[in-house]
Structure 1
Amino acid sequence: MITIDINHFRARVLQDCLSEATAAYWRGRAQTFEDARPKATDYNGRATSAQLAAKDAELAAIAAACRARALVAEAVRPEPISVEITEALKGVA
């Protein structure tokens, strides 16, 4: 039987939520998708030029969406923290 430490789980969820609210997180995600775009030096197996172009466009669009999300995070400075999070952190401190 697997035992779950609910307090550790809650802390990880809170940590992930706070991390994902930052512009740096979204810029990093954008870079990940940029890095995944097909390159001329890649081995592409049986993928056609059309398939590679479609995948390139898809990954470029996702990267652009991530960069847009980063701009939203930067525009909302300071990033708002909910009352629930503030209270939870007071209880832990």
Structure 2
Amino acid sequence: MPRDDLADRRHAAALHAFVTLARALLAADDERERCVLEDRLLALLPTVRASGLFEIAAVRDPALRAMLDERLRAPSPDTRVRHAPPRAPHR
């Protein structure tokens, strides 16, 4: 299978799962279930973002939009400082 076709299929599957999980999260009453759904939803966020969805569509639910916006603004693990900054020399 060509690489672009594989990426398209992966994005399509992630988009479908994202929408399904978002709907389930909005309907969930149990806090434990909400946490599980939120974790699964946020795990898909990098792929959904890469698909370009948020460039053409907006999340209408204010709480869900705020959660996603917060995560999208957070530095990715690749851009975080992995080591403590060097300490100033003692004088």
TM-score interval for Structure 1 and Structure 2 normalised by the shorter chain: 0.3 to 0.5
TM-score scaled by length of structure 1: 0.35
Task: Indicate the structure whose relative CO is greater, using CA pairs within 8 Å and at least 6 residues apart.
Answer: 1
